[in-house]
Each structure stands twice: as C-alpha cells, then as structure tokens.
Copies of this chain bind each other. A is one copy, B any other.
Amino acid sequence: MTPILLVTGFEAYGDHDANPSMEVAKALDGRPIGPATVRSAVLPVHHAEASRRVAALLDEHDPAAVLHLGLAPGRARIALERVALNVMDYEIPDAAGHLARGEACVPGGPAAYFSTVPVARILAALLAESIPACVSNTAGTYLCNQTLYTTLHRLATTGRAAAAGFVHLPLSPAMVAARGQELPSLDPSLATRAVEIALAVVAGAAPLSERSR
C-alpha cells in the first residue's frame, strides 16, 4: 500500500483574505513523493475543530508523516518549526471568536514536543536548492503551534509511528501588494516547491523507508 504523506494548510483568518498554506496544500494533493503520495486537507482556524479534523485525518489516512503548513506574516523565509509548546495565547480571536489566554493546548500534557521531522536535513536540502529557509524556535502561540502540539501529542499517546512537523510560509507577494506595507513575501510556487522538497526528505528518512517496506 502506498504510504500517505498528510499535508494540511489553514483557511484565511484575521484580516487576511487568503492563506498561502491553503494554496500550497491544495497544489500538492495527489502529488507522488518517492514511494509515497500526498493527501492534503485544509483546517479551520478554530481552537477545537482544527485538532478534531487532524484526528479524523490520521484515522482516515494512517499517514507515514504529517506536515502542517501555516502562514507567518512578517517572516521572510520558509521556517521549519523545531518545537511545539503546550500553550495557547492568542493575539486575535480564532474563527469561533475564541481568544485563548495562557491556556494549555492539552491540560496535563508535557511543556513541549520537538517536531519529529528532520528539520536540519530539510533545511540543508532547501538551501541546496537556493530556497531561503531557516529553522525556527517558536511556532507562536496561536493555531499553528497548537496544531503541531496536538498532533504530536496524539501521535505520542496513540503509538502511531508517523513523523510530524510544521512549516511556516511568508505572505504571498499579492497579499503584500494588497496590504501596502513593507513586509516580506515569497512566491507560493516557490513555497510549494519548498514543501515538496521537505516532503521528499521526510519520505526518504529512515522511519518512512522502513515503514514503506
């Protein structure tokens, strides 16, 4: 059976009328990556629904790896998140109007989980292709961090072997043009290429190779 690489993006949120993470996720749906195939989904920016949706996707696809994508306005490079913290501290309300303040993602859960995709190797692969990228030490305290945390927690507590990680994408040039502010951007087509490269590293990593045997 073909291993599945689950890729998620988020819906538009806040004062943004688009979300490149959604575009990139959709663009990759069905794409073959080595021995694996991408299945993508779009998550709501919702404190409770996002993780429920991921839980259902894990059950449905039993993926070999999960790569969540999100938007990081103000960032100039593809950011590979190293860690997820057990905290929700929203600066703006989510799609349900919920404004979490200093709450735990999972009460009683550990302070943090490290991403289980090989961020240093993904970084090297991206830079080798001349794509601006970095390892990030904070995924924030909004839905992006929360989604990575809850996914890693679910994988850890349900004994699934899937690797999981998070990639933050800069604004698109069109979004910066519409905002009229001096903010960095990255072309969604380059972001798509970056995520494809990241997935190839993940798919070629030992755990997946063994799994796919």
Q: Does residue A209 face the partner (Cβ distance < 8 Å to B)?
A: no
| A30 part of interface (Cβ distance < 8 Å) | no
Binding site for B on A (CB under 8 A): 75-77, 82-83, 85, 87, 89, 102, 110-114, 120, 126-127, 130-135, 137-138, 140-141, 173-174, 176-178, 180, 182-187, 190
- Which of B112, B135, B174, B186 is close to A130, meaning CB atoms less than 8 Å apart? B174
Minimum CB distance partner of A183 in chain B: B76
Q: Report chain B residues within 8 Å CB of A173.
A: 130-132, 186-187, 190
Do residues B111 and A177 form an inter-chain contact, with CB atoms below 8 A? no
Write out the residue numbers on chain B whose beta carbons fall within 8 Å of the beta carbon of A130: 173-174, 177-178
- Provided the pairs A83-B85, A89-B135, A177-B132 are in contact, do residues A182 and B77 lie with their beta carbons within 8 angstroms? yes
| Bound-state Cα–Cα, A82 to B183, Å | 20
Query: How many angstroms from the CA of A77 to the CA of B181 in the assembled complex?
Result: 9
- What 5 A-B pairs have minimum CB-CB distances, sorted nearest first? A184-B184, A112-B112, A130-B174, A132-B176, A138-B138
